[in-house]
Amino acid sequence: MKKVALVVLNNFTNDVRVYKECKTLSNLGFDSIVVALYEKNLSEFENYNGIKVHRIKLATRSWSKSKPIQLIKYLEFIIKFIKKYKNYDFIHCNDLNTLPIGIIIKKFFNKNIKIIYDAHEYETERDRMPKWLKILLKFFERRFIKYTSKVFTVSDSIAEAYKNDYGIEKPALVLNCPEYKEIKNKNNIFREKLNIAEDKKIFLYQGGLKSGRGIEILLEAFKNIKNENIVIVFMGFGPLKKNILEARKEHQNIYFYDAVSPDILLEHTNSADYGILFYEDTCLNHRYCLPNKIFEYFMAEIPVIVSNLYEMKRFVETYNVGEVASENNSIGFIKALEKISLKDYNSLVENVKKVKQKYNWEEQEKVLLYEYKSL
């Protein structure tokens, strides 16, 4: 039985993509395990919904978070990982920060090991990344990527960028789609929990409440919307939660709902009428992104409003599943909201239902399995 270690530099409590990949590989017959960072109150070893998890304990974990100390922690993680997993058949490196681990094993310990590089983003073009860091990461990525057996990524534009940047074979596309789920009845969770009337249309933003995601733009828009029958619910966690709660005090069309676990997420998503993804055009990673949230909205059978970014715009217009803002600001969002309100809602939902038949994890995992079998 071939052994696969999927490595992440987090505590693996909310990494849905890695969970699905490990589950898929285990179902195929691979001996798969997720290797993550240990954190207090979590298990070092556990069986999580059928997949094996090992969280590596670091003696340096309690040390300061200064950059030199973070490097020492990283080196300790690498040493402990190599000691236990250097004889595996595959190392599945999730994101650029784990790729050096696989490369070190291949160069110095096990030349037959196959390295999978799973770039969850356009790694060297992320939001607010200093120029010096971008240059440094590109330098290392260019040298490391040639040792990989296969590269996966999450949008066609990012795959093309990697191909052009490094002269490699175009990476395989494994989109961040949720597992397929039938929606039998419309939920009313938000209406019941937040006391939102039946005649109000609920626009939902779900995900990280941080800069670059358009939170401030959406707050500004809903502070200026005159239509009393349109409300927004922000569901998630992050530093901008306080901004939302402050706005809620003065504006009755703005609501906040705490983040929920992945197993009940889509039930909540389905209780909205429309989903919102309003990433700002601050980097190529945003411009080329096709986030998991858009597919969660579709799986929950709700149309979307998205910002005017290349991949999301192309997808929404191709399948007619929502509206694209003409400008990535509050005025552009309000115009998009007005336009989508004039569209036939049932027709949009029917289009969304067609999309979810094609864009679900059961379809995406076929690519993952094909590539692993080919290796």
Tens-digit pLDDT profile for residues 343-359? 999 999 999 999 999 99
In the predicted model, is pLDDT for residue 67 greater than 90?
Answer: no
pLDDT surpassing 90 at residue 186: no
Q: Which pLDDT does position 187 carry in this prediction?
A: 86
Average pLDDT over the chain, rounded to whole? 95
Q: What does the pLDDT read at residue 69?
A: 92
Q: Are strands 254-258 and 274-277 parallel, antiparallel or unpaired?
A: unpaired
pLDDT at position 76 over 90? yes
Give the integer Cα–Cα distance in Å for 130 and 164: 22
Does the pLDDT at position 263 exceed 90?
no
- What 8-state DSSP symbol labels residue 337? H
The answer to whether 153 and 160 are in contact (CB under 8 A) is: no
Mean pLDDT of 24-30: 93
User: How far apart, in Å, are the Cα atoms of 328 and each of 126, 298, 307, 334?
Assistant: 18, 22, 6, 10
- Residue range 290-309: mean pLDDT, rounded: 97
> Averaged over 196-200, what is the pLDDT?
94
What order do you get walking across the sheet with 150-153 strand by strand? Answer: 45-48, 51-56, 31-37, 3-7, 90-94, 114-118, 150-153, 172-173
Query: In which band, very low, low, confident or very high, does the pLDDT at 184 lie, cut at 50, 70 and 90?
Result: confident
What pTM was computed for the model?
0.94
Predicted local confidence at residue 62, as pLDDT: 87
Identify the residue whose tokens are 């192309």.
314
pLDDT for position 159: 98
3-class SS of residue 306: strand
**Is the pLDDT assigned to residue 293 strictly greater than 90?**
yes
DSSP code of residue 115: E
121 half-sphere exposure, CB direction, 13 A CA radius: 13
Q: Helix H segments across the chain? A: 16-28, 67-85, 99-108, 131-144, 156-166, 189-194, 215-224, 241-250, 262-269, 284-287, 292-299, 310-319, 330-342, 345-358, 361-374
| Nearest Cα to Cα of residue 88 among 174, 4, 9, 24 | 4
Distances (CA, A) of 339 to 59, 213, 241, 265, 286: 56, 22, 28, 28, 24
Q: Is the dihedral of CA 145, 151, 157, 163 positive or negative?
A: positive
Q: Architecture of 189-358 per CATH? A: 3-Layer(aba) Sandwich (3.40)
Please provide the size of the chain in residues: 375
* Residue 93: band (very low, low, confident or very high) from pLDDT cuts 50, 70, 90: very high
Of the ranges 66-70, 167-171, 204-208, 212-216, which one carries the lowest mean pLDDT score? Answer: 66-70
Q: How confident is the model at residue 272 (pLDDT cuts 50, 70, 90)?
A: very high
Given this chain, do its domains 3-177+361-374 and 189-358 carry the same CATH topology? yes
Name, in order, each residue with C-beta under 8 angstroms of 133's C-beta and a sequence gap of 6 or more.
Answer: none
State the pLDDT at residue 289.
96
Predicted local distance difference test score (pLDDT) of residue 136: 95
Does 214 have pLDDT greater than 90? Answer: yes
Sign of CA dihedral 9, 15, 21, 22: positive
- Give the whole-number percent of the chain exceeding pLDDT 70: 100
Segment 218-234, tens digit of pLDDT: 999 999 998 989 999 99
User: The tokens of 65 are what?
Assistant: 């978070």
| Average of per-residue pLDDT across 107-111 | 96
Instruction: Collapse the DSSP code of 304 into the 3-class scheme (helix H, G, I; strand E, B; otherwise coil) and give the result.
Output: strand
pLDDT at 146 over 90: yes
> Number of H helices and number of E strands within the chain?
15, 14
What's the DSSP call for residue 220? H
Give me the helix-helix angle, 292-299 and 262-269, nearest 10°: 60
| pLDDT for 309 beyond 90 | yes
From the number of C-beta atoms within 10 Å of its C-beta (0-12, 13-18, 19+), residue 76 rates as middle
82: three-class secondary structure by DSSP = helix
Residue with tokens 């997993």: 85
In this structure, which amino acid lies at residue 97? N
Domain segments of the chain as ranges = 3-177+361-374, 189-358
Other C-beta atoms closer than 10 Å to the C-beta of 307 total 25
CB 241 within 8 A of CB 255: no
pLDDT at 262 over 90: no
CATH code of 3-177+361-374, in short, is: 3.40.50.2000
